[in-house]
Amino acid sequence: WGSCVVCTWMGARATARRAMTARATKVVALGATTSIEVPSFTSGDNTGTTLPRKKNFRQRAHCNPLADSQFDAPAHPGAVDWRAHFPEFFAKREDAGEEAVKVRFADIGCGFGGLLVRLSPLFPDKLALGMEIRDKVTEYVRERCVALRVEHAATGGYENISCVRANTMKNLPQYFEKGQLEKVFFLFPDPHFKAANHRRRIIQTTLLAEYAYVMREGGILYTITDVEELGQWMAKYLNEHPMFERVCESDLAADPVVPLLYTGTEEGQKVERNAGSTYLNVFRRVANPFA
């Protein structure tokens, strides 16, 4: 796993009951000479709030992306009504006479939306979309976004995040135009351990071609996993693809998103609590060498 960045730490269960609040930081090594501070978030308690509760949206953790399931995918990117996903965000910018905005960040396999919630205040002028294959989990994230907007209506918070149910292994180019995305996230994806199921993995040569298509030159693709073999797999395929190059340690240390990759998601917080190891691979979309 020499090409993967490895992090191991001892986790502790949260003692605070505040949602979406970092209670401490830890130092994580990105290499021999480079390290960053990673926030350790508390587990949110939604009791007595308008936020949805996960126990009401239970669903199996795994889903076969190659099954013949029916999804309401748009015919092309222009067919998506983004105003329905970000109504307040669009209304404010239209009133100000600004040009139409587009989704720039995509969290593929967003789970319960933890990363979206962290990204929203960090990039308030960027639209971030979560894409999740499980219907009940998608419903949870949508309700979470709406509830957060209501709770932060006075400040206009969380108006720039939303979620769609989608199978990105089949329909990603139907949502995004060529060169549209600046950041794409694959955080703690399903490892599909059995060799017969490796074709279900979200990082494959053919899929990387689609990711390169929807990403702009210079865009960043983030991956992290707690499964060493999957970290090796993703590093191998990304290293071999001509449209991607590894981001250097100094650039990783300067990127405000990188600390959130470790603990910004519910899955990442679980890995932290269990004192697990993580394997980070971050790549930049480069110019087409064959153009």
**Choice among 45, 95, 125, 190 that is catalytic:** 190
User: Per residue of the chain (291 residues), what is the pLDDT tens digit?
Assistant: 445 555 544 333 332 333 445 556 889 989 888 999 998 875 554 445 567 766 666 655 566 666 766 778 999 999 999 999 999 999 998 887 788 799 999 999 999 999 999 999 999 999 999 999 999 999 999 999 999 999 999 999 999 999 999 999 999 999 999 999 999 999 999 999 999 999 999 999 999 999 999 999 999 999 999 999 999 999 999 999 999 999 999 999 999 999 999 999 999 999 999 999 999 999 999 999 988
Nearest to 221, CA basis, from 199, 237, 244: 244
Residue written as token pair 């983004």: 82
On whether the CB atoms of residues 73 and 171 are closer than 8 A, the answer is yes
Q: Which residues contact 291 (CB under 8 A, 6 or more apart)?
A: none
Nearest to 20, CA basis, from 55, 48, 51, 59: 51
Question: Is 190 annotated as catalytic?
Answer: yes
